[in-house]
């Protein structure tokens, strides 16, 4: 059984801080299919469209019949460890600082042999559940996990290096007024977070939750207005070195399309939803990027909560949808800019949240508690793209199938 991860000791500023390095990140184009699946928590391998043979490592032609029609499909994860090793010597700078490192060979029930990372609870002869996860280089990698979940299994150092688990980490939630703020605090503490900072803008305008949240143990409510550059910089100067996970809950929503609406509302939406994200990233990103290899409470993830209409506009919320598309685009650039540090950019795409601004919409809507659960699950699993609620999942599937058809359905024209 995995040893329980202990809270990190207070840092000694005279000791060397481990600098961010990445595991090998070059991949063939075919192998990026693993990365794409891992990014959303799926387990997919290539299946031959002609003979059905399952392929691994990823290929350009079937090793059984030479067909070039290989499709990525959800695949059974079960297999057996047939060999294991503990690596004590490596020429790679990333692994040299993390030795010894265990890897193994697993025979999957669907056929191929997979060379993979081994969770500490599995060894030769064991039945396992294979998982695909993103490593620090942002590439999809295989890790063999125990078939049964055990209480502290996420504490395994090799598995933990592939996730953004909140345990013993300090979190900044940027907007206390988000209906998800309180459920997020509860879910993060349940997952083992050590401290939570909560941003509050215009503190003279206290919301009903302020007193309850401010009274919580290990929670600090601090002034933060993402539309104000100096406010963001001031908070980063104060707590930037202590933020291991940043969850951006700030958002501004007003209903209405583009033709009839006042651009003042649109400006506010872009100011908070798109430029606010940029300000947060500019203020907190560099500091977080420098601490991604810094022990148990290293900086690990920057989480952005987006409407799923970032993918395809909802005309009833036209300017808001545009701000979400802009935020998604910014997050993709940030992901590239964070890449060299291993800091993970997680986008949580949600359907309409059950709050005051989405009252005109019919159900199903996402309860704030469900959104909080998705965010924390995304961190615990280490995925890059989380789709929360039935509306978001349904829309993602339709978007993946055909973005144009989805657009027509959303803008009227589907039966």
Partner 1 sequence: MKRQNYDGVVVTAPVSVPYVRYSQQTAHWWIARALKQTLEVAELSPRELDGFSVSSFTLFPDTPVGLTQHLGLSPRWLDSIPMGGASGVVALRRAARAVQAGDVDVVACIAGDANRIDSFRQLLSSFSRFAMDASYPYGSGGPNASFALIADAYMAEYGVTPEDFGRIAVAQRANALHYPGAIMKSPLTLEQYLSARPISEPFGLFDCVMPCAGAEGFLVMREDEAQSRGLAYARISATIERHNAFPEDPVQLRGGWVMDIDELYEMAGHGPEAIDLLQTYDDYPLISMMQFEDLGFCAKGEGARFVREHDLTITGDFPHNTSGGQLSAGQAGAAGGYLGLVEAIRQVTGQAGGTQVAKARTAMVSGFGMINYDRGLCSSAAILTGEGA
Minimum Å gap between C-beta 198 and partner 1 is: 38
Minimum Å gap between C-beta 80 and partner 1 is: 9
Name which of 85 and 263 has its Cβ closer to partner 1.
85
- Report the relative pairing of strands 54-55 and 44-48 from DSSP bridges: antiparallel
Name which of 118 and 281 has its Cβ closer to partner 1.
118
Name which of 27 and 254 has its Cβ closer to partner 1.
27
Minimum Å gap between C-beta 125 and partner 1 is: 8
Name which of 94 and 197 has its Cβ closer to partner 1.
94
Minimum Å gap between C-beta 135 and partner 1 is: 7
**Residues near 386 by beta carbon (within 8 Å), at least 6 away in sequence:** 40, 41, 346, 347, 348, 349, 374, 375, 377, 378
Phi-psi region of 295 (alpha: psi -120 to 50; beta: other; left: phi over 0): left
β-bridge partners, 80: 107, 127
Minimum Å gap between C-beta 25 and partner 1 is: 8
**Residue 303 parent element (H or E):** strand 301-307
Name which of 104 and 240 has its Cβ closer to partner 1.
104
Minimum Å gap between C-beta 26 and partner 1 is: 6
DSSP string, 220-234: EEEE--TT-HHHHHH
What b-and-e string marks burial along 218-243, b requiring 16 or more CB atoms within 10 Å of the CB? ebebbebbbbbeebbeebbeebbbbb
Minimum Å gap between C-beta 323 and partner 1 is: 37
Which ranges of 143-301 does DSSP label H, i.e. alpha helix? 157-160, 181-190, 210-214, 229-239, 263-269, 276-289
Kindly list the residues in this chain that would bind partner 1 in the complex (CB under 8 A). 23-28, 30-31, 56-58, 63, 82-92, 94-95, 100-105, 107, 113-117, 124, 135, 137, 139, 141-142
Minimum Å gap between C-beta 96 and partner 1 is: 9
Phi-psi region of 85 (alpha: psi -120 to 50; beta: other; left: phi over 0): beta
Distance of CA 190 to the CA centre of its chain: 18
Name which of 84 and 355 has its Cβ closer to partner 1.
84
Q: How many residues does the chain have?
A: 415
Minimum Å gap between C-beta 142 and partner 1 is: 8
- Report the relative pairing of strands 344-350 and 301-307 from DSSP bridges: parallel
CA-CA-CA-CA torsion sign (252, 311, 243, 336): negative
Instruction: Say how far apart CA 50 and CA 254 lie, in whole Å.
Output: 50
Name which of 18 and 27 has its Cβ closer to partner 1.
27
Name which of 141 and 281 has its Cβ closer to partner 1.
141
Name which of 104 and 342 has its Cβ closer to partner 1.
104
């Amino acid at each position: 059984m995995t040893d329980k991860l202990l809270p990190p000791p207070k840092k000694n500023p005279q000791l060397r801080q481990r600098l961010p390095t990445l595991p090998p990140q070059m991949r063939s184009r075919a192998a990026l299919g693993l990365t794409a699946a891992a990014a959303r928590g799926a387990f997919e391998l290539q299946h031959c469209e002609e003979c059905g043979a399952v392929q691994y490592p990823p290929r350009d032609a079937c090793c059984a019949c030479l067909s070039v029609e290989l499709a990525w499909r959800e695949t059974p994860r079960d297999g057996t460890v047939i060999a294991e090793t503990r690596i004590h010597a490596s020429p790679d700078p990333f692994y040299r600082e993390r030795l010894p490192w265990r890897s193994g060979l697993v025979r999957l029930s669907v056929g191929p042999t997979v060379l993979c990372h081994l969770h500490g609870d599995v060894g030769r002869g064991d039945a396992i559940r294979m998982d695909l996860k993103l490593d620090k280089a942002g590439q999809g990698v295989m890790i063999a996990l125990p078939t049964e979940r055990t209480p502290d299994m996420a504490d395994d150092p090799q598995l933990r290096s592939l996730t953004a688990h909140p345990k013993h980490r300090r979190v900044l939630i940027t907007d206390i007024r988000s209906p998800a703020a309180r459920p997020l605090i509860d879910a993060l503490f349940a997952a083992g977070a050590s401290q939570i900072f909560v941003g509050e803008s215009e503190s003279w305008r206290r919301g009903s939750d302020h007193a309850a949240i401010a009274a919580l143990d290990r929670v600090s409510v601090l002034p933060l207005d993402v539309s104000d550059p100096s406010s963001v910089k001031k908070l980063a100067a104060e707590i930037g070195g202590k933020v291991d996970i940043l969850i951006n809950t700030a958002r501004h929503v007003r209903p209405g399309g583009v033709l009839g609406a006042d651009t003042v509302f649109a400006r506010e939406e872009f100011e908070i939803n798109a430029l606010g994200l940029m300000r947060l990233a500019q203020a907190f990103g560099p500091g977080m990027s420098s601490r991604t290899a810094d022990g148990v409470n290293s900086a690990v993830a920057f989480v952005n909560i987006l409407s799923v209409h970032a993918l395809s506009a909802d005309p009833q919320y036209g300017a808001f949808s545009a701000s979400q598309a802009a935020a998604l685009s910014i997050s993709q650039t940030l992901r590239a800019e964070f890449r060299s540090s291993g800091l993970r950019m997680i986008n949580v795409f949600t359907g309409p949240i059950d709050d005051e601004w989405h009252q005109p919409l019919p159900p199903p809507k996402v309860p704030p508690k469900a959104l909080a659960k998705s965010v924390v699950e995304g961190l615990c699993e280490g995925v890059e793209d989380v789709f929360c609620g039935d509306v978001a999942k349904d829309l993602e599937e339709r978007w993946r199938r055909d973005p144009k058809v989805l657009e027509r359905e959303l803008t009227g024209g589907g039966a």
